[in-house]
Chains A and B, each alone.
Chain A
């Protein structure tokens, strides 16, 4: 793995990478990969997809590095790209059948009822199932606002939508999620 010297600023690493120094680019990646992996893990369904999203993000960063201006922190610019790649990944799933099956979830509930840790795990599984029923835009906005706990302003900045648009989409997404929760409420989720 690449050693990251703490004294090297993003600005100097970007400059060196633009001059053709691959080691500097690798250092930049090493410095920020945790943030990208953390974000991508919220959207990826498995390890392969996680790797794909992260690679795609950093390849875009590499290709667009010359357009980076030091007006905002590098991490914000990187997060914007990562969010867009995640959004693309969500949209590409549109025609796929839902892989998470609520029936499987039901079996889990019967097997492990009563154990609090398992309940939390089941809650996560159920949320994943419910989220998979939402559109890509709705999944994105809910993930950023509710799971990553970003503000409306930050979400607007990362998605490129207006703040009003973010609020409207979030309202619709929550409404759709509530409907799904209500539908499965009495019989599955306790």
Chain B
């Protein structure tokens, strides 16, 4: 049975191989149609500023991440001198001492 189906498959392949598909009609003026489509694609290709607009979500994400990091790693100034010294906030200490 296995040999039978092997042979049958070989015969099917041979029949398909012998098939010469005539594509002459489809090939006629193919270059003309192709170049027409390429010209169309060239005309409809989007300008650089359209690509920049598409980058907007990425820019917005970066801006949001930067904002979050700034708030997290740079806490607001302490009004208390000792906690400012403890937190190493030199600017707050100097403004406290100079009364600015």
**A binding-site residues for B, Cβ under 8 Å:** 1-2, 22, 25-26, 29-30, 33-34, 37-38, 41-42, 47, 50-51, 54-55, 58-59, 62, 120, 123-124, 126-127, 130, 146-147, 149, 174, 177-178, 181-182, 185, 189
Query: Does B9 lie within 8 Å of A22, measured CB to CB?
Result: no
What is the bound-complex CA distance between A181 and B3, given in angstroms? 12
Contacts A42-B21, A146-B16 supplied; 19 other A-B pairs, CB < 8 Å? A1-B29, A22-B38, A26-B31, A26-B34, A38-B21, A38-B23, A54-B26, A59-B38, A120-B18, A123-B16, A124-B12, A130-B12, A147-B13, A178-B2, A178-B5, A181-B8, A181-B12, A182-B5, A189-B8
Q: Mark B1-19, 1 if CB is under 8 A from A, else 0.
A: 1101110110111011111
- Complex CA distance for A65 and B37, rounded to whole angstroms: 17
B56 to chain A, nearest CB (A): 26
Residue B30 at the chain A interface, CB threshold 8 Å: yes
Q: How far apart sit A123 and B15, CA to CA, in the bound complex (Å)?
A: 7
Q: Known contacts A25-B35, A58-B34; is A127 also within 8 Å of B27 by CB?
A: no
Q: How long is the Cα–Cα vector from A7 to B35 in the complex, in angstroms?
A: 23
Residues on B with C-beta less than 8 A from A181 are 5, 8-9, 12
What residues of chain B lie closer than 8 Å to A34, measured between beta carbons?
23, 27
Cα distance A51–B36 when bound, in Å? 14
Determine the chain B residues whose CB is within 8 A of the CB of A54 once the complex forms. Answer: 26, 30
